[in-house]
Structure 1
C-alpha cells in the first residue's frame, strides 16, 4: 500500500469515528451555544471545550516530539487579513445558526436521514468553491490584500517565546478543567467521552498526514479535520473522480456520512426528514451559503478553526473562533436571530 493510499484509508477511519460519535452524542458547537444561551445548560459547550483541550494537548505533544511540524499547517501564518478572518468567522457562525448546524453536523445528520442537510451541504460546497477559486475569488483576494496584517509571530508559543507544550498545558488543561468542574457534565459520560474522542481525532489527523503521508518525493499536504473545502472537493470528486485523486479530506467526509449512517442504523435512529416549508428551505440554503463563504474567508469552520486551527495555538485561529461564536450568538438571540432551534 502506498503512502497516499494509507492516508486515504486512515482518513476514512477517522471520519467513521467522527460520524459515529457525532451521531451518538449530538456533538455540535452550535447546540452547545444554543443550550448555554437559552437553557443555561452548558454541557454540550463543555464537551466542545474538552475536544479543544485534547486537540491542543495532543497536537502540541506531536510537535514537541518532532513527529509533526505544526508551523507547516495552513493555520500557522503570521500574515492574514484582519478583516476577512473575523468577518468570515462571523458569517460562518451566523450561517451555522441559520442552517441549525455546521458542515460537520450536516454530514452527520445526512447519514442519519436528514434530507435538509443535503441542501445545506450542496450550498456550502458550491459557495466555498465560488470564493476559493470561482467567481468570488478575485473579490476575496482583493479584500485580503487590502487588509493584510503582519504579526510578530504566527502562534502563541512563538509570540511569548515559550516551548509549545507549556502554553498547551495552560490552555488545553484550563479548558478541560473548566469543563470537568461542572458536576452535571461529569455525570453525563456521553458528553465528555464525545469530547475526548473527537478531540483525539485532531492529533490523529496531523499524524496521518504528517507522518503516514510523509514522502521525500510526493509528500501529502499537512492537514487535520476541517469540513468547508473538503465538502466542496467531495462534490467535485463525485463528478470528476476519473480525473482526480482521492485525498484525505474527501475520505474523511465520506467516512463521517458512513459512520453516522452505521450508528443510526445500529440505534434504529435512521429517519427521513425534509423541510417544513419553503421558508425553512430558504433559511437552510442561506445558512449553507454563508458557511461556505465565511469558512473560506476565515480559513476554516467550527471544526477546522475551532479544533484543528486552535490546536496549533495560531493567533489567527483565536480571532476566527471568536468570530464564529459571536456569529452563532447573533443568530440565536437578538435582532438578527432568524433561525428556529
Structure 2
C-alpha cells in the first residue's frame, strides 16, 4: 500500500502529464493572452486564463469548505509578507515573462516539443530562483524582508457568507469575460484548455492537502506553481541520491513528459533555436528575472495568478497585479519603434 507521500507524488506526476499535454494542445499561457488582448489580436488565450481562475476559485473553496484541504497551511496564507519585495518580485517576473515571451510553465511545455530557447530560459530561471531563495542573494532577501515585513489584520477575504458571495461573484465575472465572443480565434480549444488547468489547480490541492495528509510525514499543502519546483528539479537531477523527491518536481517532470507525448501524437516535435545572440541575451535575462522575481513574489503567473488567487489571499492579489504590470511594461517596450520583437519562446 502506498504511503500518503507516495500517493501525492504519483498524483503530482499525473497532474503534470495532463498539464503538459493540455498546454501543448491549447497553448495556455498568460503572457500570450495578455499580448493578444493588448494588441487587439483575435484569440481567446486571456479568456482561457479567466475561465481557469474561475474554476480554480470555485473548486478550491469547495474542497476547503468540505474539510478536505486546510488552505491555512499553504504558503499563500502566510501571516506576514514584505510590502516591498512582494510587488517588486511580481514586477520582475512579469517583465521577465515579457522578455522571454512566456512564463516558466509555458517554457516547460515548449521544451517538451523540442524548443531549445525554452531550455535556456528554464536553466536561467531555476538558477535565478535558487540564488534568491538559498544562494548568494538569499541573505539580502531575508534582511530586506525583515525590514519591510507587515502583518495585516486579515491575510485573505474573511470567511462565512461574505466570502462565499465574493467567490461566486468573482467567478461569475470571470466566466462572463471568458465566454464573451470575439471576432475569431480557437475559442473551443482555448476555453477547454483553461477549464482543464483550472481543474488541475483543484487536483493539486487535493493531492497535497488530502492524499498527502499524514501526521508523521506531511506533504506541504500546495498546488500548481513552477518557480521553486523548476529549481528543485534541476537540483534533483544533479543530487538525487541526497535529496528527497517532492510534489513540485513530479509535476515538472510530468509536464515535460505530457508535452512530449502530445507533441509526438500531434506531429509537433521539432528542434528550434535562437536566431541571434541578441535574442539569446533577451531570453536569458527574462529567465533570470522570472526566477529571482518569482522567488521574491512567492510564485509565478500560475503559482500566484491561479493557485494563489484561488485562495483569495491578499498577498496573491498584490503579486498577480504586479506581474500583469510588469508584463505590460515589457510589452510596451517590445511594441515601441525599433523594438526587438522575438518570436514566442
TM-score category by the smaller chain?
over 0.9
Alignment of 1:148-167 (within 5 A): 148-158=149-159, 162=161, 164-167=163-166
**Against the structure 1 CA distance between its residues 184 and 55, is the aligned structure 2 distance closer, same or farther, given a 3 Å change threshold?**
farther
Distance apart, 1:83 and its partner CA: 1.1
Q: Is the 8 A contact 2:42 2:182 kept in 1?
A: no
- Tell whether 2:315 aligns with 1:313: no
Distance apart, 1:115 and its partner CA: 0.6
2:287 alignment partner in structure 1: 288
Distance apart, 1:137 and its partner CA: 0.3
Tell me the distance in 2 between the aligned counterparts of 1:183 and 1:286: 34
Q: Is the 8 A contact 2:125 2:289 kept in 1?
A: yes
Tell me the distance in 2 between the aligned counterparts of 1:185 and 1:162: 39
Tell me the distance in 1 between the aligned counterparts of 2:165 and 2:184: 26
Distance apart, 1:66 and its partner CA: 1.0
**Against the structure 1 CA distance between its residues 185 and 163, is the aligned structure 2 distance closer, same or farther, given a 3 Å change threshold?**
farther
2:301 alignment partner in structure 1: 302
2:342 alignment partner in structure 1: 340
Tell me the distance in 1 between the aligned counterparts of 2:6 and 2:276: 44
Distance apart, 1:186 and its partner CA: 9.7
2:123 alignment partner in structure 1: 122
**Against the structure 1 CA distance between its residues 339 and 95, is the aligned structure 2 distance closer, same or farther, given a 3 Å change threshold?**
farther
1:223 aligned counterpart, secondary structure: coil
Tell me the distance in 2 between the aligned counterparts of 1:203 and 1:144: 30
1:243 alignment partner in structure 2: 242
**Against the structure 1 CA distance between its residues 185 and 171, is the aligned structure 2 distance closer, same or farther, given a 3 Å change threshold?**
farther
**Against the structure 1 CA distance between its residues 91 and 300, is the aligned structure 2 distance closer, same or farther, given a 3 Å change threshold?**
same
Distance apart, 1:182 and its partner CA: 2.4
Q: Is the 8 A contact 1:116 1:284 kept in 2?
A: yes
Distance apart, 1:184 and its partner CA: 5.2
Distance apart, 1:334 and its partner CA: 3.8
Q: Is the 8 A contact 1:180 1:186 kept in 2?
A: no
Q: Is the 8 A contact 2:43 2:187 kept in 1?
A: no
Tell me the distance in 2 between the aligned counterparts of 1:170 and 1:287: 35
Distance apart, 1:173 and its partner CA: 2.1
Tell me the distance in 2 between the aligned counterparts of 1:170 and 1:39: 27
1:10 alignment partner in structure 2: 11
Q: Is the 8 A contact 2:129 2:228 kept in 1?
A: yes
Tell me the distance in 2 between the aligned counterparts of 1:216 and 1:185: 52
Tell me the distance in 1 between the aligned counterparts of 2:194 and 2:222: 20
Q: Is the 8 A contact 1:54 1:199 kept in 2?
A: yes
Distance apart, 1:162 and its partner CA: 4.2
The runs of at least 4 aligned residues of structure 1 exceeding 6 Å deviation read: none
- List runs of 5+ in structure 2 lacking aligned partners: none
Using the size of structure 2 for normalisation, the TM-score is 0.95
Q: Is the 8 A contact 1:97 1:339 kept in 2?
A: no
Distance apart, 1:4 and its partner CA: 1.3
Q: Is the 8 A contact 1:43 1:184 kept in 2?
A: no
Tell me the distance in 2 between the aligned counterparts of 1:200 and 1:164: 21
Alignment of 1:1-341 (within 5 A): 1-41=2-42, 43-158=44-159, 162=161, 164-182=163-181, 188-334=187-333, 339-341=341-343
Tell me the distance in 1 between the aligned counterparts of 2:311 and 2:33: 23
Distance apart, 1:288 and its partner CA: 0.3
Tell me the distance in 1 between the aligned counterparts of 2:23 and 2:242: 32
**Against the structure 1 CA distance between its residues 333 and 277, is the aligned structure 2 distance closer, same or farther, given a 3 Å change threshold?**
same
Q: Is the 8 A contact 2:12 2:251 kept in 1?
A: yes
Tell me the distance in 2 between the aligned counterparts of 1:187 and 1:135: 45
